[in-house]
Amino acid sequence: MADRIDELRKQVDLKTAKKLELEKVDRIMKRLEEFSPECETCANDKRRLAQQLDDLLEKNGNLEKNDIEKLKKVKGDMISHLQKVHKMVPEGQNVGLFMAIGISIGTSLGLVVFENMAIGISLGLAMGVAVGSGKDAEAKKKGLTI
């Protein structure tokens, strides 16, 4: 399976590889393999993803926007299943989440406490990143990161 991803990486240019998020596809695939024996959805998804990669490989590097979108959609479905059913956390999700929370708290605190929104926002942002990174590191340690 990893061979397919490697092969695809060789076929496309760096920019396309980045758009395809091949690293993420690789991680999703590993998780699907892990859960396949006990989860029918994962077993089906694994076949679906493999088929998708085969389709992309057949194009021999001539990928269109449509192809990238299709993979993105499939990937999104699989991530949401892994999150809901297997309690997985997409990498970096907590940083994004807590950054948003930090900014919104910081904005109101900044106005009320410091009478300066910019200070509030930067404080909120810094706290959000700190808390979010901590949560991400925790998830990673527990092996829950996709």
Binding site for Zn ion (CB under 5 A): 35, 39, 41-42, 85
At closest approach, how far in Å is the CB of 105 from Zn ion?
Answer: 35
Q: Where are the beta strands (DSSP E) in 12-131?
A: none
At closest approach, how far in Å is the CB of 136 from Zn ion?
Answer: 22
What does the block give as tokens for 34? 């892990």
Asked if 14 and 132 touch (Cβ cutoff 8 Å), the reply is no
Q: How many CB atoms lie within 10 A of CB 18?
A: 11
At closest approach, how far in Å is the CB of 32 from Zn ion?
Answer: 7
145, β-bridge pairs: 89
Considering beta carbons, is residue 36 or 133 the nearer one to Zn ion? 36
Considering beta carbons, is residue 35 or 98 the nearer one to Zn ion? 35
Considering beta carbons, is residue 5 or 146 the nearer one to Zn ion? 146
At closest approach, how far in Å is the CB of 38 from Zn ion?
Answer: 8
Considering beta carbons, is residue 11 or 41 the nearer one to Zn ion? 41
3-state secondary structure of 13: coil
Asked if 143 and 88 touch (Cβ cutoff 8 Å), the reply is no
At closest approach, how far in Å is the CB of 64 from Zn ion?
Answer: 30
Considering beta carbons, is residue 18 or 87 the nearer one to Zn ion? 87
The residue type found at 92 is G
Q: Using alpha carbons, list the distances in angstroms from residue 14 to 4, 11, 42.
A: 16, 10, 29
